[in-house]
Amino acid sequence: MVATDGPSVIKLGIDDAMAGLVLSTEAHWNQTEADWRVFLHDGVVFGIRDGVRLVATAALLPYSGNNAWISMVLVSATHRRRGLATHLVDACLETARKNGLTSWLDATPDGVAVYEPLGFTPTLQLRRLKLVKSTQASLPAPSTATLDALRARDRRATGFDRTALLTAFAQRSGSRIVAAHGCIALVRDGRTARHIGPLFADNAAEALALVHAVARSENGPLLIDAVASQAAFLEGLTASGWTIERPFQRMRFGPATTAAEEMPFAVAGPEFG
């Protein structure tokens, strides 16, 4: 148990995956039970219960180079405006501090107002986009690529070693790593929509071509979390039917510990970085 001055903050275990999924589903997020198991197996997930019911969570997912991602900050509608999220984020930050970790997160506009006073500084911006598709795919899937190729490109773009995360994604039923003309991306299932990302490319035209190829080979809705500074890519997505759902602001607590060699076109998701 983590000591706090407020409600009892506990560490959750792998058996809490379904309870976490209830919270993220209530918030209309796209996570699956498998996503929750990543946080519970590879990270630290803090929670608050009301009796036996899990009513709030926050997760700290460590990466290499003394970095960690804070996410899954969720509070049930019945327990909001009681400071529960602040207590849980404080638990994440204290754990990160004890372990010498720089903390990162992707915040909604409302979240930015919460995290800036805590000492988080903004870095890049993201835009979540959605493509609503018919139920019929029209073309074969793009060529597949190896997990090693994706890992290498991901390391260049993030500065982190995320082998465990990318391996967990790639091993799921329905996941595929696709590539064409120097571009590479991962496509995986979500609760309500398939997710494209991370996506790496040498230029916007090639990134767009790969996304269009994926879209033509997929059934149902798609989500992508595009890097806002990749303006030509973002404009190409919206021109081809993708709609912006919400912005995210990437923020960092602590010193920068790595230097990226390239900028991704889309990330793994605001919960994963």
**Can you give the pLDDT at residue 139?**
66
Residue 53's CATH number: 3.40.630.30
Q: What's the rounded mean pLDDT across residues 96-113? A: 93
Within a domain: 265:
no
The answer to whether the beta carbons of residues 247 and 94 sit under 8 Å apart is no
Please give the mean pLDDT across all residues of the chain: 93
Residue 49 has pLDDT above 70, yes or no: yes
Domain that includes residue 17, residue range: 10-100
Same domain, 90 and 140: no
Same domain, 176 and 134: yes
Within a domain: 213:
yes
Residue 164's CATH number: 3.40.630.90
Same domain, 239 and 148: yes
Burial grade of 196 (CB within 10 A; 0-12, 13-18, 19 or more): buried
Q: pLDDT tens digit string along 175-210?
A: 999 999 889 999 999 999 999 999 999 999 999 999
Residue 110 has pLDDT above 90, yes or no: no
CA proximity to 184, closest of 146, 158, 127: 146
Is the full-model pTM beyond 0.85? yes
The answer to whether the beta carbons of residues 115 and 257 sit under 8 Å apart is no
Q: pLDDT tens digit string along 207-254?
A: 999 999 999 999 899 999 999 999 999 999 999 999 999 999 999 998
Q: What's the rounded mean pLDDT across residues 54-83? A: 95
Q: pLDDT tens digit string along 74-92?
A: 999 999 989 899 999 999 9
Within a domain: 108:
no
Residue 141 has pLDDT above 80, yes or no: no
Within a domain: 94:
yes
Which range among 5-9, 21-25, 71-75, 263-267 shows the weakest confidence by mean pLDDT? 5-9
Angle made by CA atoms 139, 140, 141, in degrees to the nearest 5: 120
Same domain, 80 and 161: no
Within a domain: 269:
no
Residue 140 has pLDDT above 80, yes or no: no
Same domain, 134 and 233: yes
Q: How many domains does the chain have?
A: 2
- Separation of alpha carbons 159 and 88, rounded Å: 27
Residue 98 has pLDDT above 90, yes or no: yes
